[in-house]
Each structure stands twice: as structure tokens, then as C-alpha cells.
Amino acid sequence: MSHHRVAVIPGDGIGVEVIAEGIKVLRGLEQTAPNLTFEFTDFPWGCGYYLQHGEMMPPDALEILAQFGSIYLGGVGWPEKVPEEVAVRGVVLAIRFGFDQYANVRPVKPLQGAPFPLAGKDPSQIDFVVVREGTEGLYVGQGGRYARQQAGFEQWASLRPAFLQSDELAVQIGLYSEHGCRRVMQYSFELARRRAGKRLVTSCTKVNALNYGMKLWSDVFEEVAEEYPDIDHEWMHADALAMRFVTSPEHFDVVVAPNLFGDLITDLSATLLGGLGMAAGGNIHPGGIGMFEPPHGTAPDIAGRGIANPVAALLTAGMMLDELGEAQAAHLLNDAVADVVREGAVRTPDIGGASTTQEVGDAVANCILASRPQTSDFRPET
Ligand code: ATP
């Protein structure tokens, strides 16, 4: 019997809508797999909570979450009401940093039947994973703003004549640690081994311009690569790599990227899947508590209309199952999503359909329920 306690943070905007479908589908799995049970506990943290309490989460949020096996999060943000940096730092980054979730894993394997933007390319040849470093780099929140009269202004302004003409300077520190680089790179090489596909790890860097942080990143990458002689390795500058995602996405297997570049290139790679509504993501600290969140945000432009695509959140739940050691249930879920997308009768407007969020969730849940043990070859975990 596997029982999993999951902390659920639906968040704001479409986060609430898509997570409801995720829970529905996980409940469907529970009925299908006799040995699998979930206990979901909802936490109403996010911008709504902020407007009531003046903080995005309570001060003991991390201690509360530490009692769970996993965290399932929708999206956090309400740009009209709460400054974006407050929203993102207050929940998503606080949890990523708090649980040291250094591997932000985003798979890119287009589903059959999903819209595909590249003419002359075969989507079935594309199968790679981006591992974005999740705790360091330009996201550490260090630096400052310096008005002309303030202490510190002179030190920075003296670097350039143009700086001296400014009334204000802002410094954003990108902090990279040898340990932080090494562990996410080792994770990536291990992943390439497990995938047993092209057995290639590509480092996304920018050492030509970012001469300290990316130099450390690249030096550590070469060291780590030596530990994995059975896995090929290469590096590309982030700009060239972005281009290759479009011109030859079939080239890649595992891509390891620093935090900001990883953020950028995974919105790009999501387009290969049919858009942000189709892309899954998980924040992982091996052996620790993971947070599984679709890489899309709260999509304020479509929030509340019942048309958000829940596929990203459903595949994200599949990643959570995998990480919880429920590979068979994850397969079942992923297969059900793939069936629904391939059949194409039920799909949301972003991928060319007219169905609602709930209808897609229902279709996937029904697909799972239709494969109950008595009607399929479902084998309980051994
Ligand atoms: P946030 O500030 O919370 O990150 P955002 O404004 O960056 O939100 P995203 O959520 O990243 O918006 O979405 C970017 C675009 O992709 C929007 O036009 C949105 O409607 C679309 N989009 C994102 N997720 C989905 C989804 N699940 N279904 C349909 N469209 C989506």
C-alpha cells in the first residue's frame, strides 16, 4: 500500500483551475490502482492570501510543508494587485530555496496530435529534458539600487562615464557556487544515463560575456563530464542554443542550464510541445521534498474563463508520481493524457479546440478509469 501526503497550493489565476483537474485525475488513479492512496491538504497561499494577511505565506509555511511527501503547485501571481517580484519570491522562490530544490526539470517530448510550430521537422524525433538550476545565479535576490546621493553609488558609477551620468544604478548579483553547479550537472549526467537515449549532456553557458559566473559553470561542467565517460558532452552559448532549439531540436538529450537561461529557453522549448499549456515541470532535490508546478504562470489573460489547458498540470502530476516512486501510475496518467491529445476531440482553445478545462480533466480521468484492473492489464506494483 503506498500512501502519499501531498501539500496542494493552487495559487492564483489559472493555477486554481488546472490544479483542480490534477486532483481529479489523481483521484481517478486512486480508484484504478488499488494500492495507491493520496491525502491532499490545500493551502490557500498566494496573492489572495497576501491581500488578506500582508504576506504570501505564513512565516512557518516551510515547517508546515516539510511534513508532506510532495508539493503540488498551480501558479502564483496577480500582477494588477501584487507586485510580481513580491508574488514570485513569496511562494515559488521561497519554496525552491527553502527545500533546496536545485534541479528544475522540464521535459520536451511533443505529444502526437499537439500543434507543432516547425515546418519540415518531425516532432516524433524530439525528446529532450532541460534541467534548469533552481537555487542560484541571478535569482539569489542580492544587489541593490543606488541613487546618486547614496553610499555605494560612486563605487559602481566610476566603472563607466555613462554610469556617472545616471541618477540611479541597479546592481543584480548572479551568484554561482562550485557545489551548486556540480550537483545540478551530476544530476543531469545521471539523468542522461537513466534515459539511455542519445547519452548527451549539453551545457547552456555564456562564458564569452559572463566571465566569472559562467566561467565557473563551464569549468565545473568539464570536471563533471570527466566522471561520466559513457556520456557525451558539449557546450553552447545560450543564444546559439536557443537557435538550435528551433533549427535542430532533435539533436538534444539533456540540457543543463543556469537559472535565468533555463527560464528563458524552457518557454521557448514549450512551443515545441504546443505551448505553455502543454509543458510539465518539477523542482527536485533528490531524496528531499519536491515541488511540482507547471512552468506556465497564472495566465491572467484567460484566468476565470474555464479555458486554461490543464495538460501541463496533469503531466506535472505525472512527474510528481514518478518522483514519489509510482512509475506505473505515472505511466497510466501520461498515457491517458497522450490518448486524449492524440484523439483530439477534447482540447482547449490554446491547442485548437473548444473544450473547457474541466472537460479535458474529465476526459483524462475517464480514460484512466476505463483502464481499471478488471478491464486492462494494469499490474499492481510489486
Ligand atoms: P505570470 O505573471 O503568473 O507568470 P504570465 O503573464 O507570465 O503569468 P503565463 O501564465 O506565463 O503568463 O502565460 C503566458 C501566455 O501563455 C498567456 O497568453 C497565457 O494565456 C498562455 N498560457 C499559459 N498557460 C496556459 C494554459 N495552461 N492554457 C492556455 N494558455 C496558457
If asked whether residues 204 and 187 sit together in one domain, one would say: yes
Give residue 198's pLDDT: 98
CATH of the domain at 128: 3.40.50
Detail the DSSP E strand segments found in the chain.
2-11, 36-42, 70-75, 103-108, 128-133, 143-147, 168-172, 200-205, 232-237, 254-257, 282-284, 290-292
If asked whether residues 379 and 346 sit together in one domain, one would say: yes
**Pairwise CA distance, residues 221 & 240, whole Å:** 18
Residue 267 CA, closest ligand 1 atom number? 11
**Pairwise CA distance, residues 351 & 115, whole Å:** 6
If asked whether residues 72 and 193 sit together in one domain, one would say: no
Ligand 1 pocket, residue 360 CB under 6 Å? no
Ligand 1 pocket, residue 276 CB under 6 Å? yes
Instruction: Give the count of alpha carbons within 13 A of 95, CB side only.
Output: 33
Contact 87, 48 (CB under 8 A): no
Ligand 1 pocket, residue 257 CB under 6 Å? no
Q: Which of 337, 363, 348, 365 is nearest to 305 (CA)?
A: 348
If asked whether residues 98 and 129 sit together in one domain, one would say: no
pLDDT in tens, 15-48: 999 999 999 999 999 999 878 999 999 999 999 9
If asked whether residues 146 and 123 sit together in one domain, one would say: no
Specify the residue with its C-alpha closest to ligand 1, atom 12.
299
Ligand 1 pocket, residue 249 CB under 6 Å? no
Domain count, the chain: 3
Final residue belonging to a domain, choices 254, 273, 292:
273
If asked whether residues 169 and 256 sit together in one domain, one would say: no
**Pairwise CA distance, residues 270 & 274, whole Å:** 7
**Pairwise CA distance, residues 294 & 259, whole Å:** 16
pLDDT in tens, 261-273: 999 999 999 999 9
If asked whether residues 129 and 231 sit together in one domain, one would say: yes
Tell which one of 106, 276, 350 to mutate to probe ligand 1, the residue whose CB is within 8 A of the most ligand atoms: 276
Name every residue whose Cβ is closer than 8 Å to that of residue 10 and which is 6 or more positions away in sequence: 16, 19, 20, 42, 44, 46, 73, 74
If asked whether residues 315 and 363 sit together in one domain, one would say: yes
Give residue 378's pLDDT: 40
pLDDT over threshold 60, residue 342: yes
If asked whether residues 213 and 127 sit together in one domain, one would say: yes
With residues binned 3-state (H G I as helix, E B as strand, rest as coil), the percentages for the chain, rounded to 5, are 45, 20, 40
Specify the residue with its C-alpha closest to ligand 1, atom 26.
277
Final residue belonging to a domain, choices 242, 273, 304:
273
If asked whether residues 266 and 340 sit together in one domain, one would say: no
Q: What's the CA-to-centroid distance between 382 and ligand 1, angstroms?
A: 40
Enclosing domain of residue 152: 137-175
- Give me the DSSP letters along 98-125: HTT--EEEEEE-PPTTS----TT--GGG
If asked whether residues 238 and 347 sit together in one domain, one would say: no
Please report which confidence band the pLDDT of residue 373 belongs to, taking 50, 70 and 90 as the band edges: low
Ligand 1 pocket, residue 47 CB under 6 Å? no
CATH of the domain at 28: 3.40.718.10
Please report which confidence band the pLDDT of residue 376 belongs to, taking 50, 70 and 90 as the band edges: very low
Final residue belonging to a domain, choices 251, 273, 295:
273
pLDDT in tens, 107-147: 999 999 999 999 999 999 999 999 999 999 999 999 999 99
If asked whether residues 125 and 142 sit together in one domain, one would say: no
pLDDT over threshold 60, residue 69: yes
Ligand 1 pocket, residue 75 CB under 6 Å? yes
Q: What's the CA-to-centroid distance between 82 and ligand 1, angstroms?
A: 17
Q: What's the CA-to-centroid distance between 143 and ligand 1, angstroms?
A: 29
Name every residue whose Cβ is closer than 8 Å to that of residue 212 and which is 6 or more positions away in sequence: 176
Q: What's the CA-to-centroid distance between 350 and ligand 1, angstroms?
A: 10
Tell which one of 19, 269, 296 to mutate to probe ligand 1, the residue whose CB is within 8 A of the most ligand atoms: 296
Torsion of CA 257, 262, 265, 266, to 10 degrees: 120
Report the mean per-residue pLDDT for the chain: 95
Ligand 1 pocket, residue 301 CB under 6 Å? yes
Q: What does pTM read for this prediction?
A: 0.94
Ligand 1 pocket, residue 14 CB under 6 Å? yes
